[in-house]
Structure 1
Amino acid sequence: MRPNAARPARLPRRALHGVLLLDKPLGWTSNDALQKVKGMMRAEKAGHTGTLDPLASGLLPLCLGAATKFSQVSLDADKTYRATLQLGETRVGGDREGEVLLRRPEALAALDAPRLEAACAALRGPQWQTPPMQSALKHEGRALYDYARAGIEIAREPRRITVHSLDIRLWQADTLEIEVRVSKGTYIRQLAEDLGEALGCGAHLAGLRRLASGPVDLDAALTLEALQALTPVEREARLLPPDVLLADWPAHMLDTEDAARFLTGLRRRVKAADAEGVRVYGPPPPAAWAAGRRAPVFLGSARIVAGELIPLRLLSPPEVQALAEGPGPMPERPPDDPVRVAPALAG
């Protein structure tokens, strides 16, 4: 560029609100993928819903704008993975990038189907798991994987986890493919090593793909290449509403008066059973109503205790307005809701 040449003007950032389901490629960190998508979407605010290792691919829900308020819900949700294990060989760090520690071909040769099924069955259910050194957990402000790269071992406290399901997808010679659904905080590389030890032949994680996180799954996800091929308008149309992260929570509908008060953080009296978490909806704002967009609009999350609806995370009035008038199609109303929709939210 010539010294006096004008620099190309940067396109302004936009206040976008919603969830983009990304199929993260191998080799990318979660933050690399987030920053790439944030730039493509020209979004003012964005965050991801938990780290997916660079050696793993698959579902990475990205939250834009108001959706970032509910990213913790996805962090706490059960996850489903498809994992490929290399049997008969343990490696430093528990994955294919580490140096070989031990090979046990004789034990692998003696492995049979009943023993494999029994080992898988023993790993299902609640259990304690010690996080591996190759993790993003912090010790004195540094990630454990930083210490691991320096050859330093840090003591870790075991965590309570649950393996809800563990199914064998493929077993051929020294390759085992499993599909698992696990609770928050479960490390699949550690699960692979534990399974290898239970089999007596050892194992390490050769491949990992996330298939689902809570109520969202990989079927609706876009690759970076597919996202790049879309126009800005098409990209925005692929945003899902923020409440998609809470789709497996019960829904509760408020009328105009209660909705307006709820958005100020006030508790409301409701006739509903106790619930740790509910999605809360109200009638759309006046401008959206006048424009013919009359579907209920998401207001935020709450819990219900002894007939009181207690706000947890709330959208701001501008966010409610933006979601009500957004470009994407809106559902007729949240499922299983009582229909108590007044003409519009109080302005």
Structure 2
Amino acid sequence: MKQTQTKRIKRPVHGVLLLDKPYGASSNQALQKCKWLLQAEKGGHTGVLDPLATGLLPLCFGDATKFAQRMLDADKRYVATLKLGATTTTGDLEGEVLQTSSLRPDRTAVDEAIAHFTGEYEQVPPMYSALKHEGRPLYEYARAGIHIERPARRITIYAIEVLSFSEDELVLDVRCSKGTYIRTLSEDIGARLGCGAHLSGLRRTETAGFRLEETITVAEFEAMTLAERDARLLPADSLLADLPAVTLDAAATDKLTHGLSVRFPSEDGTIAGLRVYGDTGSGQVSFLGLAELLDQVLYPRRLLSTVVHS
């Protein structure tokens, strides 16, 4: 007798999971695994971590996906391991070796190179990246042997600290702005040192106020019950924790959740992003979403679907 398969029921799950992405998995693979474990209807990640990279990857589910873009714009922090004395086609350990050098820098040269790249600098994105050119990611062109000219982008390296240094390896703690490619930074430092270098390890440790210590591994998440997985999710407003907050009374809450603006006396002229809380009828204050304050009027900008009235 042919066995029929029961269709997996998806649930309206809302929240943020701080995942320690494993080595070798793409960001989307990690997302789909956790989405399946949560039986969630909707999910999204907050910026790509390369398969060779590990560490902090916030995953958003349900209403939390409305605010995922802010994670893309956030500053980041990484522990980067540089292999000295060799360059590769991809800028990391997955590529073929292009050139090798027996030259090895001393600590003085390392400190000078780090100082050179601390602050703003014009960085050319790597060919092996997900940036699009005419609708296709650059890595597709690179794999086909096609070189595309890429304009440099101004990024900021806030700080670089040497965690360890040996003849063939340099481990750095890097704090940087959005859009920074650590592979390219590694190559640029290697070129500055004169010996060449490529990225042999990368671990994201911070983004948007979240820290690696708060994460959970896929294996740990899989070992939990469904209720325990739900309890592990952070609320959607954790993505907006750096923004100022306002609380509305029941009448103003009702107007805002119907898509209407609300008078809100304030000495502040314009605030582009505000966390808004209000009474949705339960008698308890709930997170409503994101609003903008302009000339003492509060305008809804991105509200939770669970509080929006039709």
TM-score above 0.5? yes
Following superposition, the deviation at residue 193 of structure 1 comes to 0.6
Partner of 2:64: 67
Instruction: Name the structure with the higher strand share.
Output: 2
Matches within 5 A, 1:177-216: 177-216=171-210
CA 58–263 in structure 1, closer or farther in 2 if over 3 Å, else same: same
**Structure 1 counterpart of 2:192, one-letter code:** A
Counterpart of 1:280?
A: 276
Shift of 1:272: 4.7
SS at match of 2:130: coil
Give the aligned partner of residue 256 of structure 1.
250
Output one character per residue of 1:86-120: Cα deviation in whole Å (capped at 9) or x when no partner. Answer: 112111110011111111212x1xx2222211211
Question: What is the aligned-residue RMSD (CA, Å)?
Answer: 1.7
Return the offset for 1:169: 1.1
| Structure 2 counterpart of 1:49, from 41, 46, 51 | 46
Contact 1:216 1:244 in 2 (8 A): no
What whole-Å deviation, never above 9, does each CA across 1:122-180 have from its counterpart, x for those lacking one? 21112211110010011122111111111111111111211122111111221111111
Structure 1 length-normalised TM: 0.85
Partner of 1:78: 75
Task: Verify: 1:168 aligned to 2:162, yes or no.
Answer: yes
Give the one of 92, 106, 109 matched to 1:112: 106
Check the 8 A contact 1:215/1:246 in 2, yes or no.
no
SS in 2 for 1:59: strand
Structure 1 moving runs of 4+ over 6 Å: none
- Alignment correspondent of 2:20: 23
Distance verdict in 2 for CA 1:234–1:130, change over 3 Å: same
Residue identity in the other structure for 1:65: G
Which of 62, 87, 91 is the matching residue for 1:90? 87
Counterpart CA distance in 2 for 1:167 and 1:175 is: 14
| Partner of residue 332, structure 1 | none
In the alignment, structure 1 residue 142 sits paired with structure 2 residue 145: no
**Structure 2 counterpart of 1:242, one-letter code:** A
- Partner Cα distance (1:211, 1:35) in 2: 22
**In 2: Cα distance, 1:225 partner to 1:305 partner:** 47
1:230 and 1:260 map into 2 onto residues whose CA distance is: 38
Identity of aligned residues (%): 51
| Amino acid paired to 1:134 | Y
Secondary structure, aligned partner of 1:31: helix
Q: Which of the residues 218, 228, 232 maps onto 1:234?
A: 228
Equivalent position of 1:326 in the other structure? none
Any conservation in 1 of the 2:257–2:307 contact (CA below 8 Å)? no
- Of 300, 304, 308 in structure 2, the residue corresponding to residue 311 of structure 1 is 300
| Structure 1 residues 237 and 272: CA distance shift in structure 2, 3 A | farther
* Matching residue of 1:341: none
What is the aligned length? 308
Q: Which runs of 5+ in 1 are unaligned?
A: 322-345
